[in-house]
């Protein structure tokens, strides 16, 4: 498969992931599926916008660039279309690095949030009742949280989704870095598409 076509496939995959990450981050603003009276009662890591900015907005830019690579010749390069394709593939490496940084940020924020646990209503008021992920292996501790809703399940589900999708996005962007290097060195196809050489 030509490097431009492969990049387009990666872009098609990244867009729905970015949308899902954005939605997951938005849902985290409604802990347990409910609205809270005060913003400070929302888990702190939600405000870091890992899914909204990191795996969401920052991921849209590389996804759109990857989608356009197949048809982008950068107007050629001194009349040499192959040179333009190589430059486009080189540019995709930079955008892939941006996507990798965004996905990494979302992954780290999600991992910290999962380890820390949710901020929830307890007998002592709103606080973080769990320490160092102790609640992950002991679900009986979850009863400490009185609300809002089923906050621990909500928190774990959405941040786990962000963690997994961030990891997938990071892998896809890392693959595009390699693909972009190949496309930069060889051109779009390296002779693989019908033996016509770089196009």
Residue 14 and residue 56: Cα distance in Å, rounded? 9
From residue 93, alpha-carbon distances to 63, 86, 120, 134, 183 in Å are: 12, 11, 42, 40, 10
The model's pTM: 0.85
Compare 75 and 31 and report the one with higher pLDDT.
Answer: 31
- Cβ atoms of 3 and 48 within 8 Å: the answer is no
Q: What confidence tier does 117 reach under pLDDT thresholds 50, 70, 90? A: very high
Q: Which of 30-44, 62-76, 86-100, 165-179 has the lowest mean pLDDT?
A: 62-76
Q: Which of 63-77, 86-100, 130-144, 170-184 has the lowest mean pLDDT?
A: 63-77
Q: Residue 83 has what pLDDT? A: 59
Q: Residue 7 has what pLDDT? A: 87
Rg of the chain taking only CA atoms, in angstroms: 21
Q: What confidence tier does 199 reach under pLDDT thresholds 50, 70, 90? A: very low
User: Is residue 75 scored above 50 in pLDDT?
Assistant: no
Q: Residue 198 has what pLDDT? A: 43
- Cβ atoms of 1 and 67 within 8 Å: the answer is no
> Whose CA is closest to 198, among 48, 121, 185?
185
DSSP string, 42-71: S-GGGGGTIIIIIIIIHHHHHHHHHHHGGG
- Cβ atoms of 62 and 132 within 8 Å: the answer is no
What is the sign, positive or negative, of the torsion defined by CA atoms of 88, 93, 96, 101? negative
The model's pLDDT over 143-179, given as tens digits with 9 standing for 90+, comes to 999 989 899 999 999 999 999 999 999 999 999 999 9
- The pLDDT mean for the chain works out to 87
Beta bridge partners, 60, equal none
């Amino acid at each position: 498969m030509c490097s431009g076509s492969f990049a387009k496939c990666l872009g098609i995959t990244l867009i729905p992931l970015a949308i899902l990450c954005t939605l997951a981050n938005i849902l985290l603003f409604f802990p347990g599926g409910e609205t809270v009276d005060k913003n400070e009662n929302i888990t702190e890591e939600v405000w870091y916008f890992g899914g909204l900015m990191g795996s969401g907005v920052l991921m849209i830019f590389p996804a759109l660039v990857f989608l356009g690579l197949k048809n982008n010749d950068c107007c050629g390069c001194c009349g040499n279309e192959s040179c333009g394709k190589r430059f486009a593939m080189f540019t995709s490496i930079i955008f892939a690095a941006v996507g990798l940084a965004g996905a990494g940020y979302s992954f780290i924020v999600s991992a910290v949030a999962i380890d820390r646990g949710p901020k929830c209503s307890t007998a002592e008021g709103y606080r973080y009742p769990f320490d160092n992920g102790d609640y992950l292996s002991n679900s009986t501790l979850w009863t400490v949280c009185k609300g809002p809703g089923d906050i621990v399940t909500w928190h774990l589900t959405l941040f786990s989704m962000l963690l997994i999708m961030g990891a997938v996005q990071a892998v896809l962007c890392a693959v595009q870095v390699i693909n972009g290097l190949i496309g930069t060195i060889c051109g779009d196809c390296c002779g693989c598409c019908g033996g016509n050489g770089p196009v």
